[in-house]
Amino acid sequence: MISIIRSEFKSLFRIYYIGVNNNKNRTGITPFYHNNDTSFLRWFSSSSSKELDEKTYEELVNKTLDNLNDHFEQFFEQIDDKNCDITFNNDVLTVSLGSKGVYVINRQTPNRQIWLSSPISGPKRYDYIDGEWIYRHDGQTIQQLLQKEMKQLFNGN
């Protein structure tokens, strides 16, 4: 059933893309689904993080928060910015970037999600889908978002 729905959505959006692309100069619309990009379909057809049992969820979220903590520590060493600080207390990862803002990343056990608050993109709720923490509204992983925003905040450093 899921593969049928996936196929129907893929066909529908491929038709939409071709139609919009042919009229792109007139409408100015740029479609969000193009070529072989299936990130839009991933949220619809994949298993939800709510299906994770609590023990598995806890293991996954602990590993993810630990990895994010390690990556931020390494990043701060590379950029050598004394205004940046990271704390990891009571299952909450707080990334302070001085005047650039603060990220707060924490677990949300009842929903089996990771919640992130960004000074750039605002609040996001990530579900564990196909081995990654995905924001269902745009199909982007938590790591992709953080990498993109760090480049934006630190001018590509």
Q: What's 126's domain CATH number?
A: 3.30.920.10
Same domain, 84 and 101: yes
The pLDDT, as a whole number, for residue 49 is 58
pLDDT at residue 87 above 60? yes
Whether pLDDT at 21 is above 70: no
Q: Within this chain, do residues 128 and 79 fall inside the same structural domain, yes or no?
A: yes
| pLDDT for the residue 80 | 85
63 pLDDT above the threshold of 50: yes
Domain that holds residue 12: 2-45
The confidence band for 47, taking pLDDT boundaries of 50, 70 and 90, is: low
The pLDDT of 33-50, averaged and rounded, is 47
Same domain as 113, residue 39: no
- Specify whether 64 is located in the same domain as 94: yes
Helix then strand count (H, E) for the chain reads: 5, 7
| Pair (92, 134) in one structural domain | yes
Whether 68 and 138 map to the same domain: the answer is: yes
User: Is 23 in the same domain as 86?
Assistant: no
The pLDDT of residue 62 is 96
Total number of domains in the chain: 2
One domain, residues 9 and 80: no
Residues 87 and 135 in one domain: yes
Q: Assess whether 96 and 24 both reside in one domain.
A: no
Read off the pLDDT of each residue in 46-75 and give the average, rounded to a whole number: 88
Report the side by side order of strands in the sheet with 122-129: 84-89, 92-97, 102-108, 113-118, 122-129, 132-135, 140-141
99 and 131 fall within a common domain: yes
CA atoms of 54 and 92, how far apart (whole Å):
18
% residues pLDDT > 90 (the chain): 59
Question: Is 108 found in the same domain as 33?
Answer: no
pLDDT digits (tens, 9 = 90+) for 134-148: 999 999 999 999 999
Give backbone dihedrals phi and psi of 25, rounded to 5 degrees, phi first. -65, -35
